[in-house]
Amino acid sequence: MSSTATNQAKTTRANGSSKTPQAPLPRKRNSLAKGHLPRFAVLAIAAGALVLGAASSTLTGFSIASFAIYSAIIFVLAGSIITTVVEGPRRGKNALATYLVYGAFLLALIPLASVLFTVLQKGLPGINMHFLFHSMNGVTGAIDNASVENGTPVLGGAYHAVVGTLLITLWATLISVPVGMLTAVYLVEYGKNGPLARAITFFVDVMTGIPSIVAGLFATALFAVLLGPTARMGIVAAVALSVLMIPTVVRSTEEMLKIVPNELREASYALGVRKWRTITKVVIPTAISGIASGVTLAIARVIGETAPILVTAGLANNINANVFGNWMATLPTFIYYQIITPTSPTNIDPSIQRAWAAALLLIVMVMVLNLGARLIASLFAPKKGR
């Protein structure tokens, strides 16, 4: 054997079990692991960073935020520098990128957690039967002042806004779903990727990007031309919302219709069934779970829209169940106005409390719709087995 010393060292472990009398070196680390940080190194660096972070945060006046920021900076710097020294610059760069990617994800969770926590913490005290089933009709600044001074419960609620939200969203759904579904049927079943179908696909994509306030202005301008400049009522808001909702419905329905296997259509045609019967009795029922979940997501998207309601339905303090006449309130505009123009300018707390309670109500609605969409999609999905 003409092996060099290094080769011998490298093969030590391989030869360890052979007859060579050379004593195994249990303390020596595997040569393949040479130049690697041990696993506990990351934890050790993290612990060190936390200590140093706490120390430097205390120097500048301790706060949770500065503690977290200093610790994170120290950890990322120390971790990547130590990795660079021990494992080389390439792995150092890799470690830095890994820490930053993990950090970005944690950073993105902060606003989500903060928003949900704030809404729960500030909204829960305001939720009660009075809030849910009373409108703001007759609730004035004097009543709010009295409730603050005497410590009595806050009067006034969001019932009118809930009614408005549900009605306007219902009408928007009634407009958008037929138009959106028929368009998707045209794109998938009739358009055959012709110029018109491609134009529709393109403009539907563009429509998803229309700012919501522009959709509101469009509905206002449309009804102003039709009914005069002061036409503000629920149906105008519903038209504005359906401008926002139609593209979502088209896209989700289109995706779902596309994945219906062609064999189903062909089998139906082979039995002599007309195309429109095939579509309504075979294609759409197969895809209905996906379509329903897409529509639910579209509703969840528009139910929280504020800006288009602001410019189309105005604001009401009383219950108005007629979408074809008079101003209406919805939960988002209720929240907005309670914050921006408190009922009692001197004691804003009751208004803020109502705003957070309404925000909690709205977030619960949106979350229920989102979860509902997931449930519909998974529960009623056609079996995938082939």
Restricting to residues 259-278, which ones interact with another protein according to CB under 8 A? 274-277
3-state secondary structure of 3: coil
Q: Which is nearer to another protein, 139 or 331 (CB)?
A: 331
C-alpha atoms less than 13 angstroms from C-alpha of 323 in its C-beta half-sphere: 18
Within 10 A of 339 (CB to CB), how many other CB atoms are there? 15
Backbone angles phi, psi at 155, to 5 degrees: -95, 165
Q: Is 29 in the site for another protein (CB under 8 A)?
A: no
Site size for another protein (CB under 8 A): 96
Q: How far is the CB of 342 from another protein (least distance, A)?
A: 12
Q: Is 316 in the site for another protein (CB under 8 A)?
A: no
What is the dihedral sign for C-alpha 46, 50, 56, 60?
positive
Q: Is 303 in the site for another protein (CB under 8 A)?
A: yes
Q: How far is the CB of 232 from another protein (least distance, A)?
A: 9
Categorise residue 363: left if φ over 0, alpha if ψ from -120 to 50, beta otherwise.
alpha
Q: Is 236 in the site for another protein (CB under 8 A)?
A: no
Query: Given the rule CB under 8 A, which of 115-123, 135-143, 259-267, 283-291 is the region that contacts another protein?
Result: 115-123
Give me 7's structure tokens.
């080769």
Distance of alpha carbon 180 from alpha carbon 253, whole angstroms: 8
Q: How far is the CB of 372 from another protein (least distance, A)?
A: 12
Q: Which of 312, 307, 317 is nearest to 354 (CA)?
A: 317
Q: Out of 128, 339, 364, 372, point to the residue binding another protein (CB under 8 A).
A: 339
Q: Is 102 in the site for another protein (CB under 8 A)?
A: yes
Q: Which of 146, 93, 77, 154 is nearest to 123 (CA)?
A: 154
Query: Are 354 and 317 spatial neighbours (Cβ–Cβ below 8 Å)?
Result: no
Q: How far is the CB of 24 from another protein (least distance, A)?
A: 30
Q: How far is the CB of 241 from another protein (least distance, A)?
A: 13
**DSSP assigned state of 151:** -
Query: Given the rule CB under 8 A, which of 21-29, 32-40, 133-141, 204-212 is the region that contacts another protein?
Result: 204-212
Q: Out of 183, 317, 320, 343, point to the residue binding another protein (CB under 8 A).
A: 183
Q: Out of 52, 81, 145, 186, point to the residue binding another protein (CB under 8 A).
A: 186
Distance of alpha carbon 384 from alpha carbon 345, whole angstroms: 60
How does DSSP assign 325-357, residue by residue?
A: SS----HHHHHHHHHHS-SSSS--HHHHHHHHH
Query: Given the rule CB under 8 A, which of 4-12, 114-122, 124-132, 146-154 is the region that contacts another protein?
Result: 114-122
Q: Out of 162, 200, 323, 328, point to the residue binding another protein (CB under 8 A).
A: 200
Q: Is 310 in the site for another protein (CB under 8 A)?
A: yes
Query: Given the rule CB under 8 A, which of 40-48, 139-147, 257-265, 364-372 is the region that contacts another protein?
Result: 364-372
Q: Is 62 in the site for another protein (CB under 8 A)?
A: no
- Tokens 């919805």 belong to 330
What is the dihedral sign for C-alpha 124, 128, 133, 135?
negative
Which are the contacts of 248, defined by CB distance < 8 A and separation ≥ 6? 180, 208, 294, 297, 298, 301
Site for another protein in 214-233 (CB under 8 A): 214-215, 217-218, 220-222, 224-225, 229
Q: How far is the CB of 177 from another protein (least distance, A)?
A: 11
Q: Which is nearer to another protein, 289 or 353 (CB)?
A: 353
Q: Which is nearer to another protein, 48 or 122 (CB)?
A: 122
E strands, the chain, are none
Query: Given the rule CB under 8 A, which of 21-29, 142-150, 173-181, 261-269 is the region that contacts another protein?
Result: 173-181
Q: Is 81 in the site for another protein (CB under 8 A)?
A: no
